[in-house]
């Protein structure tokens, strides 16, 4: 169709003349469909009945009314299972692979270094290409994004997106029940991996606060 042809010509033009940029990508909730697995395991272990919209990813202890020690024991027993069993988010492998043909991919995750081998194996198993794997062991991603000079971060946690964007790094927030609400400048909601691909490869000019009119949700 003519519209599809125009888009294809534009992509080829950009790929031929554009320079590679560095794309940051989270794992859990962005590449890995982890949340339902985490909720099932947490509910079973702590005998709760939490729903996805009740989850606060940055404070599981408060959500489940448990101590940090109790959560540590849970992770010691279930951590490797939780890192290796999720399926990829729909479209993640396809569109990440297409982006990787032109740009550099930096995986920026809160996963701990002790899960490095499990994480590498999972990424390889599901054909998710990358140039560097950064396991932070915390949710503080701003410095990692700045030190690697990332052009954009694909993330699912709004609080992380707010911190990263405050340092001038645009964030594509992959839509989820737990990240609803108004978005600040430089945080843009993506509803699928096709949206992520389209914004990075076809409409990168949209990652600019001048294209925003009023609060966004």
The predicted pLDDT at position 110 comes to: 94
CA distances in angstroms from 11 to 46, 92, 106, 147, 204, listed in the order given: 49, 19, 22, 29, 11
194-216 confidence digits (pLDDT tens) = 999 999 999 888 776 554 444 34
Average pLDDT of the chain, as a whole number: 87
55-108 confidence digits (pLDDT tens) = 776 788 888 999 999 999 999 999 999 999 999 999 999 999 999 999 999 999
The predicted pLDDT at position 56 comes to: 74
Strand ordering across the sheet containing 152-155: 132-135, 104-109, 22-25, 152-155, 171-174, 187-190
Closest CA to 102 of 197, 186, 174: 197
For each of the domains in the chain, give its residue range(s) and CATH number, in order of start. 2-33+88-208 (3.40.50.1000), 35-84 (no CATH)
103-154 confidence digits (pLDDT tens) = 999 999 999 999 999 999 999 999 999 999 999 999 999 999 999 999 999 9
pLDDT class of 17 with cuts at 50, 70, 90: very low
CA dihedral 2, 5, 11, 13 (to 10 degrees): -100
């Amino acid at each position: 169709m003519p519209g599809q042809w125009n888009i294809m010509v534009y992509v080829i033009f950009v790929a031929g003349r554009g320079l590679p940029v560095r794309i940051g990508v989270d794992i859990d909730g962005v590449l890995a469909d982890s949340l339902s697995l985490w909720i099932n395991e947490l509910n079973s272990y702590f005998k709760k009945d939490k729903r996805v919209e009740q989850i606060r990813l940055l404070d599981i202890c408060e959500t489940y009314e448990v101590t940090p020690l109790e959560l540590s024991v849970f992770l010691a027993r279930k951590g490797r299972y939780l890192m290796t069993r999720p399926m990829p988010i729909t479209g993640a492998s396809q569109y990440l692979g297409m982006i990787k043909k032109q740009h550099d991919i930096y995986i920026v995750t809160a996963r701990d270094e002790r899960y490095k081998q499990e994480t590498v194996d999972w990424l390889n198993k599901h054909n998710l290409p990358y140039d560097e794997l950064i396991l932070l062991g915390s949710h503080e991603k701003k410095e990692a994004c700045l030190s690697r000079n990332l052009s954009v971060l694909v993330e699912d946690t709004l609080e992380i997106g707010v911190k990263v964007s405050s340092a001038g790094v645009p964030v594509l927030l992959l839509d989820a029940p737990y990240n609803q609400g108004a978005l600040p400048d430089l945080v843009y909601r993506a509803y699928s991996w096709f949206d992520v691909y389209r914004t990075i490869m076809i409409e990168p000019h949209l990652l600019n606060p001048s294209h925003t009119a009023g609060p966004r949700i």
